[in-house]
Chains A and B, each alone.
Chain A
Amino acid sequence: MNNNNLLKKGRRMGDLKYMILSVISVLTFLLIWQLLVIFGVLSTRTIAAPTQVLVTFFEKFYSTAPDGATIFTNIAVSLKVSLTGFFSAIIIGTPLGMLMGWYKPLDRFIRPLFEIIRPIPPIAWIPLTILWVGIGLGAKAMIIFFSAFVPCVINSYTGIKLTSQVHVSVAKTFGASNFKIFRTVGVPSSMPMAFAGIRIALGNSWGTLVAAELLAANAGLGYMIMMGRQFVRPDVIILGMLTIGILGFIFTWIFTKIENVVVRWRTL
């Protein structure tokens, strides 16, 4: 038994070693970056030192330079746009995919239209949407909708197609109607796949948001980094990139928590 505790301790020590190693690697990276800037190897006109980014971060709490808004305003604008597009894609896309997967005529009717839209990256919709709808919230939300819609549909479609035949048969022998089987068997069994789709949609919509804001916006995180470039403020650009990255990370984290609750019956 003693032997075992030692083994356990050994493994923990190993984990600790790797953790220290990764902390060191990140710190080294930051340090080299800082030093390169301090000693003038990299020009402050093209890159900002990590400490400078931190300073700018606090400045942006109240300062509106150079893009005309504080960082919180920018975050709020971006969130509003992306969440509008993202949620409307889930609300429309996921049920649509499931219905298409279950009801053949619907599948036959919608599939061709969907296959036409599918290979066009959402970004390519930007010019058309700008001409049609302008550059307001609606236009950007629509572009984000396109980026999130496709994975929502595809995954819930595939998910419901993979419904186990035995489970359908069980419900059938109990005398359930087709719609009841869809509701009680098809929908729950396709949930893990549907969630996988929503996860992809989440990443897509965040990535597309940046593109939309780079091209057509007057506020938002994407707009902020674009302005950072125009006013040669590398600190603002890097701050913007980091904010986008961190927010994306937080979304994924929240989403994983929700997913774990909703599909907690999964074996994996």
Chain B
Amino acid sequence: MPNDDVKIKVRNLTKYFGDLHVLDNISFDVKKGEFLCVVGPTGCGKTTFLNLLTKLIPPTSGELYINDEPADPKIHNISFAFQEPSAFPWLTVEQNLEFGLKIKNIPKDVIKTRVERIIKLLGLEQFRKSYPHQLSVSSEQRIIIGRSFAMYPDLLLMDEPYGQMDIKMRYYLEDEVIKLWKEFGSTVIFITHNIEEAVYLAERILILSNKPSTIKKEVVVDLPRPRDFTDPKFVEIRKYVTELIKWW
């Protein structure tokens, strides 16, 4: 891979909780506008990995660089779409989408145009004044995705946001994520248990090993979009990744 357009650099990321060695010396690069998926077996320190990338907890050693600067949520735009429902129940759909932008003290008119754009792209016009509990679970998840993209993030992390959805819905929402990603050109790291999902979405897949986690393998997915899960090439990559995970 040529090293021209690197946006995110992760260098020697290591984490101990007391004596428990969770992450071991993880290094990788993400190019600007790349869609990267991370998969791994259950209990591979996935949550820790994410919390380190979002700077929610400090690493034992190693660092994350955005545009060659050490990452800092106060300077950089980092968005995190959590697995559990994380829309603020006391804010309307519109206010939820504005939330991060307001924290960044972005001018009001900019906020307005951005939120309008997201609402339009997601087709949420009729729900703009609704509270999250008045929406279906899938719509609530779409607000969170929208809220993340509205930041024009330097780095967008997604933690299996569609874990509980049925397959049809999953593919619909995943297509929506691809649409937003292409529209905004964001740099995305998407973490999932579901290998099929990873192959469907990613340009590149990182496979994590069991604790202490390291990067076991890197798989490039260069299938054209839209992808088809019955396509023999798709099935082949899926099988390959599954085998890699089953190894240990």
Contact = CB atoms under 8 A, between A and B. Distances in A.
Interface stretch (B1-9, B81-89, B186-194): B81-89
A169 to B, nearest CB: 6
Given A169-B56, A265-B133, A174 B86 contact: no
A184 B103 contact: yes
A171 B103 contact: yes
Contacts, number: 73
Nearest to A262: B90
Closest 6 A-B residue pairs measured CB to CB?
A175-B73, A174-B100, A267-B133, A175-B74, A188-B90, A173-B80
A173 B100 CA distance: 9
Interface in A117-176: 164, 166-167, 169-176
What band does the interface of chain A fall in when counting residues whose beta carbon is under 8 Å from B?
20 to 34
Interface residues of B, number: 29
Interface in B69-124: 72-80, 82, 84-86, 88-91, 99-100, 102-104
A89 interface: no
A184 B133 contact: no
Contacts of A169: 54, 56, 80, 82, 86
Interface of A: 164, 166-167, 169-177, 180, 184-185, 188-189, 191, 263-267
Contacts of B86: 164, 166-167, 169-170
Given A180-B103, A184-B99, A267-B133, A172 B88 contact: no
A184 B72 CA distance: 20
Interface of B: 54-56, 72-80, 82, 84-86, 88-91, 99-100, 102-104, 131-133, 151
A44 to B, nearest CB: 57
Contacts of A264: 131
Contacts of A189: 88-90
A185 B84 CA distance: 17
Contacts of B73: 172-175
A110 B80 CA distance: 36
Nearest to A164: B86
Contacts of B91: 188, 265
A172 B91 CA distance: 17
A265 B131 contact: yes
A267 B87 CA distance: 13
A195 to B, nearest CB: 12
Contacts of A265: 89-91, 131-133
B83 to A, nearest CB: 9
Contacts of B77: 175
B89 A173 contact: no
A180 B85 CA distance: 21
17 contacts: A166-B85, A170-B99, A172-B56, A172-B73, A173-B73, A173-B79, A174-B78, A174-B103, A175-B77, A175-B78, A188-B90, A188-B91, A189-B88, A189-B89, A265-B89, A265-B132, A266-B89
B82 A175 contact: no
Contacts of B89: 189, 265-267
